[in-house]
A and B are shown apart, each in its own frame.
Chain A
Amino acid sequence: DAKTTQPTSMDCAEGRAANLPCNHSTISGNEYVYWYRQIHSQGPQYIIHGLKNNETNEMASLIITEDRKSSTLILPHATLRDTAVYYCIVAYSGNTPLVFGKGTRLSVIA
């Protein structure tokens, strides 16, 4: 079973920041938080990952709480093309298989 809890769906206005929460209260010390997204019918796409510190790349920012029990993925200026299912996954680094939950369906509205 997935070790994360995410809201089933969220809406966001185009151009605004999309903040997607994730709870992972049982995360262990060596496990990372990964975010992937799946745009309609396509294969999932890696977005970002982090261990303890906040992370930012060209796609998004990841904010991890100090106790590491929850995190938030931030899309700073959501566009219609960001409409997708977003998966928060807790996993060890390297080679371990990923366990996908049901994710959050984000709808960006014009």
Chain B
Amino acid sequence: DAEITQSPRHKITETGRQVTLACHQTWNHNNMFWYRQDLGHGLRLIHYSYGVQDTNKGEVSDGYSVSRSNTEDLPLTLESAASSQTSVYFCASSDKKSSYNEQFFGPGTRLTVL
């Protein structure tokens, strides 16, 4: 069955290190999104992509970058991890051809920056 996966599921890192979170989907969806969720809050959009070589900044993009070299993957990189980036990160994808906005979410990555 088609799915969306994230790895690692849990990550502990130190301040200043570069960290990359992986997101892989097998639906062949053009649209992919990264959100972060902090305790007691809803999801906030970090970056998104509508296709290969396309990337766009979201509400909270500072300190994060993405690249889209193929349809299946949208890795999220924290250039220099900060304690404020401790959060749960969710990746999502949706079908460009769909007439409505159903996004499929991955299981999340819990990142702790010490």
Contact = CB atoms under 8 A, between A and B. Distances in A.
B19 to A, nearest CB: 20
User: How big is the A interface, by class?
Assistant: 20 to 34
A23 B78 CA distance: 36
A30 interface: no
A93 B100 contact: yes
Nearest to A41: B108
User: How big is the B interface, by class?
Assistant: 20 to 34
B45 A44 contact: no
Contact of A49 (B88, B100, B106): B100
A2 to B, nearest CB: 7
How would you classify the secondary structure of chain A's contact residues: helix, strand, loop or mixed? loop
A101 B44 CA distance: 9
A42 B107 contact: yes
Q: Give the 5 A-B residue pairs with the shortest CB-CB distance, closest first.
A: A43-B105, A100-B42, A100-B43, A46-B102, A102-B42
Interface of B: 31, 33, 35, 40-45, 48, 50, 58-59, 88, 90, 92, 94, 96, 98-108
